[in-house]
Amino acid sequence: KEADQLPPHQSYDCPVNLLSNEKLQVGQIYSLSELELAVLWDFIDKNLWKGFIRTSTSPLAALVLFVKKKLGELHLCCDYLKLNAITVRNRYPLPLILN
């Protein structure tokens, strides 16, 4: 089932820090089919309305790809490979969760 809202905000935020000496890379632009464009605009409209995404003026954007599901539906995927390459890795030990 699809979520209708985001989970409640917690008392902490997790920033995504970028390496200071790295330059933001611009990816290739490719054309989408009419069906892919329709699925993309449907995703954007639905998730803007729900508040899951918001408009941005960021100089960085992620590549959007579509993968066909078994029944022929298109599944939207975001490629964060270039963003992950310039992200500061937080290496904190995770606490053990005891039952």
Region of residue 27 (phi > 0: left; psi between -120 and 50: alpha; otherwise: beta): beta
Distance in angstroms between the alpha carbons of the first and the last residue of the chain:
28
Q: If you average pLDDT over residues 18-43, what whole number do you get?
A: 86
pTM over cut 0.85: no
Q: If you average pLDDT over residues 29-33, what whole number do you get?
A: 88
What is the structure's pLDDT at 99?
60
Q: Is residue 46 within 8 Å of residue 53, measured between CB atoms?
A: no
Q: What is the pLDDT of residues 51-77, one digit of tens each?
A: 888 888 877 778 899 999 999 899 999
Q: If you average pLDDT over residues 4-24, what whole number do you get?
A: 79
pLDDT at residue 28 above 70? yes
